[in-house]
Structures are given as structure tokens and as C-alpha cells.
């Protein structure tokens, strides 16, 4: 089943000058997404810098966003780990915090076999009663979930979908050919959202939507309503900006873009470090070209 159709934002975690989570700014960002038609919110994912947050911080952020959203859209909590026992505990805590679903990433660094992957995801999913999305991002984790393993995991009742960040449409197509028709596939790459939708995908879990939530929602909505040309216009128009958002490790360029927009959400936790001048300049140019910085654009042009 689809937890949502359309655009889920992989929301950033804003930090204060002292490094703590800035809940006032987080509240503003959630309001911004609700006003701009975002279909779901992923909290404490890769973009949310969960790897530098304590479990207590992570659960507090999930609980805060759940309370702010008040059931208006699904809230998905990043709860994966390369330690299965830790993943079970974190998943239970996020469920107790009110998350509507969980995102479980492939184990990183220590890696495992496909059999180990199956057992890892199975026991974590069985530890909770809410839906679970698998997250395949080999560029980050150094390993992939084989399509056949995804198909086996799809037999577990509350494993309902996959965030596919492989960027490999052949992989997406193979997964789609093996899983039940109602197993949801969400693009994890902003530059191939429409190709994934064309293969039967249910939407995107998006970095780009942090800046352009209405556009990403509308692109998906146009596709689902049969207006493919308008959908492609949005996808292709934003290609240069999407590329700029991944010039450095996510969310470094994204938080630089937030800074350029004056949203006071640019602080990162080490080892992530602020974007280079080249990245900022490229972001600024693409944002001016898209009229995201209309006042700056007037001055320059």
C-alpha cells in the first residue's frame, strides 16, 4: 500500500548557534511545508543529519514534528541502524513518539550478506506495528538490497515500500517486476522522479522539496493526473538546481541554499562542514535563474 502519493520532504534539522536543535525554526519549516502541499514529512533521515544526533534528540524531534503536524500528513521517522539491536530500540521509541511509519536504511560500514539484510530488516519490522519503508542508498552505505531480497521482505505485512536511491532505473524496474502491485516505490533521487513514477512509483522522498515543496508536489500531481508534459517541465526546469544541491555531500549544499534564502538554517554538525564558495556561487546562479531569488535577480540582471 502507498503510505502517501506524491512528495515527501526529507526535512533538514535546523541547529542553533550552540549546536542544539532549533525547535522554533523547525516549527516554521513544518508550517512552510504544510502550506505548500507537501504530502508527507520524513524526520531524522540522512538530510536531517540523524547520524550526528543522539537517540534522545532524534526521538524528541520526531515527537515534536508529530505534535506539530497533528495528523495532517504522514510523519515518517528515520530509525535505521547498522546495529540491529539499536535499530529495534530506536524503532520502538519512534513508534511511541507517534510516527506514522519508519524508514530503515541498509546497514552501513559493517555491511552484511543478503541473508543478513533480510534478517536485519525482518526483526526490526516485526518489533513494531506501524508501516516500514526500506531505504536502499548504496552510495552512502556501500551495499545494495538485491531486488530478490526486496521481494522477500515485501512478504512481511508491515514492510510496505522502498525508498530507492540507487539512481538505477533498471534496478527500479526489476524490483517493480518482483514485488506485489501495491508495494510502494519512492524515488530517492530528485533528478529521476518522473522516470521512477513512469515505472509505477508512488512518489519521491525529496531533498529538493526543502526549497521547492509546491513544485515537487505539483510535478507528482500533474503526472498522476495525466498531464505528463507539465510534470516534465517542472522536472527538467529544475535539473541544474537539483545537480547543484548534490555538488557536495547532502545536506551541505541544501543548507547553503537555505542560507542564501535567508532561512537561518544553514548550521551543520561536524564532520559535515559548510559549503565551498564554488558550491554557493553555483547554487545562487541556479536559484536566480529559477527566480527563487527574485530581488537578487533584479539587481544582477
Spatial separation of the C-alpha atoms in residues 196 and 219, rounded to whole Å? 13
Based on the residue annotation, tell me whether 5 is a catalytic residue of this protein.
no
Say how many residues make up the chain. 301
Question: How far from chain centre, in Å, is Cα 53?
Answer: 17
Strand-strand pairing, 40-43 and 101-105: unpaired
Spatial separation of the C-alpha atoms in residues 235 and 290, rounded to whole Å? 12
Spatial separation of the C-alpha atoms in residues 66 and 47, rounded to whole Å? 18
Contacts of 185 (CB under 8 A, 6+ apart): 161, 162, 164, 172, 175, 176, 179, 196, 199, 200, 201, 202
Per-residue DSSP letter, 21: B
Q: Which of 37, 118, 135, 255 is catalytic?
A: 135
Q: Which of 37, 63, 163, 255 is catalytic?
A: 163
Spatial separation of the C-alpha atoms in residues 37 and 40, rounded to whole Å? 9
Q: What dihedral angle (degrees, nearest 10) is formed by the CA atoms of 273, 275, 276, 277?
A: -140
Cell readout for 185 is 516505490
Based on the residue annotation, tell me whether 25 is a catalytic residue of this protein.
no
Which secondary structure element, helix H or strand E, spans residue 10, and what is its range?
strand 6-10
Catalytic positions are: 135, 163
Amino acid at each position: 500500500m502507498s503510505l502517501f502519493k506524491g512528495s515527501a520532504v526529507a526535512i533538514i534539522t535546523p541547529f542553533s548557534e550552540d549546536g542544539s536543535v532549533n525547535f522554533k525554526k523547525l516549527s516554521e519549516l513544518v508550517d512552510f511545508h504544510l502550506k505548500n502541499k507537501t504530502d508527507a514529512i520524513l524526520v531524522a533521515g540522512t538530510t536531517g543529519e540523524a547520524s550526528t544526533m543522539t537517540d534522545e534528540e532524534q526521538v524528541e524531534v520526531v515527537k515534536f514534528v508529530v505534535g506539530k503536524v497533528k495528523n495532517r500528513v504522514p510523519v515518517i521517522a528515520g530509525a535505521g541502524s547498522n546495529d540491529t539491536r539499536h535499530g529495534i530500540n530506536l524503532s520502538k521509541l519512534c513508534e511511541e513518539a507517534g510516527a506514522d511509519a519508519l524508514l530503515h536504511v541498509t546497514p552501513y560500514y559493517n555491511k552484511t550478506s543478503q541473508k543478513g539484510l533480510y534478517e536485519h530488516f525482518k526483526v526490526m519490522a516485526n518489533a513494531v506495528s506501524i508501516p516500514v519503508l526500506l531505504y536502499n542508498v548504496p552510495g552512502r552505505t556501500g551495499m545494495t538490497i538485491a531486488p530478490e531480497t526486496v521481494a522477500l521482505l515485501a512478504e512481511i505485512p508491515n514492510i510496505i515500500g522502498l525508498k530507492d536511491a540507487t539512481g538505477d532505473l533498471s534496478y527500479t524496474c526489476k524490483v517493480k517486476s518482483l514485488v506485489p502491485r501495491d508495494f510502494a516505490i519512492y524515488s530517492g533521487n530528485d533528478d529521476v522522479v518522473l522516470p521512477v513514477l513512469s515505472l509505477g512509483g508512488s512518489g519521491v522522498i525529496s531533498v529538493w522539496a526543502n526549497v521547492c515543496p509546491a513544485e515537487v508536489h505539483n510535478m507528482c500531481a500533474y503526472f498522476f493526473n495525466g498531464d505528463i508534459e507539465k510534470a516534465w517541465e517542472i522536472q527538467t526546469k529544475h535539473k541544474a538546481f537539483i545537480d547543484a544541491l548534490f555538488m557536495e555531500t547532502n545536506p551541505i549544499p541544501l543548507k547553503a541554499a537555505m542560507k542564501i534564502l535567508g532561512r537561518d538554517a544553514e548550521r551543520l554538525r561536524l564532520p559535515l562542514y559548510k559549503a565551498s564558495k564554488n558550491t554557493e556561487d553555483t547554487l545562487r546562479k541556479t536559484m536566480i535563474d529559477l527566480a527563487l531569488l527574485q530581488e537578487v535577480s533584479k539587481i544582477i540582471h
